[in-house]
Amino acid sequence: MTYTSTVNPADRLSARLPQALKPLAEIAYNYWWCWTPDMISLFQSINPDEWERCGHNPIVLLETVSFDRLTQLTVEPNYMARLKKLSEQFTQYMASSDTWSSRVAPQITAQNPIAYFCAEFGLHESLQIYSGGLGILAGDHLKSASDLGVPLVAVGLLYRQGYFRQKLNQSGWQEDYYINNPFERLPLQLLKDENDQPLVFEVLVRHRHVKVQIWKAQVGRVSLFLMDTDREDNDPIDRWLTGHLYGGNQETRIAQEVILGIGGVRALKTVGIEPAVYHLNEGHAAFCLLEVCRQEILKTGKSFYDIEKGVRDRCVFTTHTPVPAGHDVFSADLMDSFFAKYWGELGLSREQFLALGARRLGDPWEPFGMTVLALRLCRSANGVSELHGDVSRKMWTVLYPEKSEDNVPIGYITNGVHAGTWTSAMMADLYNQYLGEDWTTKVLDPQTWAKIDNAPDEEIWWRHQILKERLVAHTRQKVRNSRQNRGEDWSQVEATQHLLDPKILTIGFARRFSPYKRGDLLLRNVEKALQIFSNDEKPVQIIFSGKAHPADEEGKRIIQRIMEWCKTHQNVRDRVAFIEDYDMHTARKLVQGVDVWLNNPRRPLEASGTSGQKVCFNGGLNCSVLDGWWCEGYLTDANGKALNGWAIGEDAHTSDQVLQDKIDSDSLYDLLENQIIPLYYEQDENGVPHGWVQMMKASIKTNCPAFNTHRMIADYVAQVYAPGVKSDVPLTLAKVPQT
């Protein structure tokens, strides 16, 4: 079936716009605008205050702003010239057939595209269906696939309330709340049939037939199909199956993964798409493998074991975490209640079916593992950094008893970030001047990035200082709002005027507050931390942000300890800030404005990490444990001196976690006191720290060409999607064996 719609939402929006502004409607319904800074500026300048109030949602903006204001814009020559230029740019972008992918891998076609499954997608802060790194990586994956012209569609869930929102009470304890996503006022289209009725398919969840409708978000050239069970003809329980991201109990989790995996394959069939390759981004979507098998059995009449190899040849898998708790497993009883009918449709017995997800065959108490299922039924599997590939092979040797650990067929493709999304306009303008205006098409070329050496230190520094001033202003406003909402004393609210100082060395720490990420490592030695942060001669300040999972009590306690530390020690009150309700908007401000990005997880539990990569595109420096991507990004000279950032703890590793925490915290204090702080404050008479700026340049030219999603997508095409093609990409961070 082909989907149609008698009323396109972009047409409906266009109807309320003056004729000259109608191109805004089409662009607003394509998330291309969110990685095109000039387009964001064009929306923002319509009404800056309303742009902030509506959460940077162009649909709400254009529906809300007065017609009088819109007509004013039509007689502003500068605005209309900008709109004409961007509209032509958008039209050319969408219509271009001469793309990188069409030249390198013409066998991947729009008729049989790559289908990319993920539980969350972080495209923009206005679409709250992401929680953290996995979703942001997925969003960047789609954006680079679009830029490179890779025929790809994506499949996910449209959560009515998304991930939880965060506020801290007066004791610093995290409280959770939810807000409805206004689907009808977002850049989304509800897909409908020729009778203008929503396209619907059914999925059996336990013993209930759940109706699922499909929304589409257009991400440049890539279509993202999002499934939604919030329909009046569903049981009230089932309407909430797509209510929350990572919420609820195990029954809710398995039901969501049934809809994502089994439902996702049916959604693609409903819209008439037959993928060439199914890409599972993490194990949440692994049930899709079963549905591909079921449909192939129906089509051919063959047995499961006859079609198994053919299905495996079409399926690939990326694993994202070395933390055991991150790999979903379900009890045999739970599998019975959800799949008692389904395994018969595969022509399998209960024992044969459960064996597909069992780590150890023959154990009646062995739970059903989603990662195990993916590894068994996919032709290739990869981690997301070189170290993570090593760790994954060690984790899953049990599935390959005939192979040595080194030969376990799990490789790696190191993650990257989407340059257009995360590079500030100030730095992009600098790159236009010194790297060339076509630098965005050459992000993989080390020679292009080497030209940053030609940029004067003074120019890089003043741009960075402007970005830091913006970060400080953003932080003050967010903290002020939080203190007001908590009902704090007015003096505390007014004190935010003096919170942070843009001239001070500024550290950023923002990520999920899970115990293994050690969000309070810097405060482990209270006296040493006070000595560093209360120093008036060479002051240091830090901005924290991030959420703890609602069920993670220890993660919440870490946040509370940070808040208590600020209150207890008045002499550092203005040098430590916590921004509540971390989202992509705050993330951009942080990665674009900090001097140093701090990352101190317990090694080797950080599979990749991408926030530090975003910092590199803006000239920031990383100070990180040698884990994830930083093992590949960190460079020293022949004498062991750091060139482009700093490594915490170097290679001092022990299985004693308490001892490791002490080793790493001592190393961090030593780096700050003896390397980072002195280098930052070694400034000339104009306040320019030339040694520091040299490290900024080194970070840019060594990390930007390697750790971006254009390179990552090129690796996926050459190593996974169409193995054997000859990519013209000059640099690769991939090694993925085929099983």
pLDDT digits (tens, 9 = 90+) for 340-360: 999 999 999 999 999 999 998
Note the CATH number of domain 107-412.
Answer: 3.40.50.2000
pLDDT of residue 3: 53
In angstroms, rounded to a whole number, what is the distance separating the alpha carbons of residues 336 and 530? Answer: 56
Tell me the pLDDT band of 697, cut-offs 50, 70 and 90.
very high
In angstroms, rounded to a whole number, what is the distance separating the alpha carbons of residues 620 and 155? Answer: 34
pLDDT of residue 521: 94
Tell me the pLDDT band of 571, cut-offs 50, 70 and 90.
confident
Residue of 573, 582, 572, 624 whose CA lies nearest to 603: 624
Handedness of CA 687, 475, 470, 499 (dihedral sign): negative
Q: What's the mean pLDDT in 520-549?
A: 94
Handedness of CA 256, 257, 262, 263 (dihedral sign): positive
Retrieve residue 732's tokens. Answer: 């690769």
pLDDT of residue 737: 83
- Which residues make Cβ contacts (< 8 Å) with residue 701, sequence separation at least 6? 446, 449, 450, 452, 453
pLDDT of residue 129: 97
Written as one string, the DSSP assignment of 590-657 is HHHH-SEEEE-PPTT--S---HHHHHHTTT-EEEEES-TTHHHH--B-TTS-BSSEEEESTT---S-H
In angstroms, rounded to a whole number, what is the distance separating the alpha carbons of residues 334 and 340? Answer: 10
Retrieve residue 10's tokens. Answer: 């972009």
pLDDT over 60 (residue 141): yes
Residue of 470, 553, 624 whose CA lies nearest to 173: 553
Residue-wise pLDDT for 461-511, tens only, equals: 999 999 999 999 999 999 999 999 999 999 999 999 999 999 999 999 999
pLDDT of residue 2: 52
pLDDT of residue 730: 63
- Which residues make Cβ contacts (< 8 Å) with residue 373, sequence separation at least 6? 283, 286, 287, 289, 290, 356, 357
Q: What's the mean pLDDT in 518-530?
A: 92
In angstroms, rounded to a whole number, what is the distance separating the alpha carbons of residues 720 and 700? Answer: 28
pLDDT over 80 (residue 196): yes
Q: Is 415 left (phi over 0), alpha (psi -120 to 50) or beta?
A: beta
pLDDT of residue 658: 87
Residue-wise pLDDT for 165-192, tens only, equals: 999 999 999 999 999 999 999 999 999 9
pLDDT of residue 185: 95
Tell me the pLDDT band of 1, cut-offs 50, 70 and 90.
very low
pTM: 0.96
Tell me the pLDDT band of 552, cut-offs 50, 70 and 90.
very high
State CA 491 to chain mean position distance: 38
State CA 441 to chain mean position distance: 22
pLDDT over 80 (residue 203): yes
Which helix (H) or strand (E) segment holds residue 43: the answer is helix 37-44
Residue of 180, 183, 181, 177 whose CA lies nearest to 164: 177
Residue-wise pLDDT for 442-470, tens only, equals: 999 999 999 999 999 999 999 999 999 99
Residue-wise pLDDT for 321-343, tens only, equals: 888 767 899 999 999 999 999 99
Percentage of the chain exceeding pLDDT 90? 90
Tell me the pLDDT band of 214, cut-offs 50, 70 and 90.
very high
Written as one string, the DSSP assignment of 410-465 is -EEE---B-HHHHS-HHHHHHHHHHT-TTGGG-TT-HHHHHGGGGS-HHHHHHHHH
Delimit the CATH 3.40.50.2000 region(s) of the chain: 107-412, 420-707
Residue of 374, 365, 211 whose CA lies nearest to 279: 374
The residue assigned the tokens 């997301």 is 384
pLDDT of residue 729: 67
Q: What's the mean pLDDT in 303-316?
A: 97
In DSSP terms, which residues pair with 176 in a beta bridge?
A: 166
Note the CATH number of domain 420-707.
Answer: 3.40.50.2000
pLDDT of residue 637: 92
pLDDT of residue 734: 73
Which helix (H) or strand (E) segment holds residue 383: the answer is strand 380-383
pLDDT over 80 (residue 652): no
pLDDT over 50 (residue 220): yes
Q: Please report the beta strands in 65-164, taking only residues with DSSP state E, as ranges in sequence order.
A: 114-117, 152-157
User: What is the chain's mean pLDDT, rounded?
Assistant: 94
Phi, psi of 249 (to 5 degrees): -95, -170
In angstroms, rounded to a whole number, what is the distance separating the alpha carbons of residues 627 and 121? Answer: 24
pLDDT of residue 323: 80
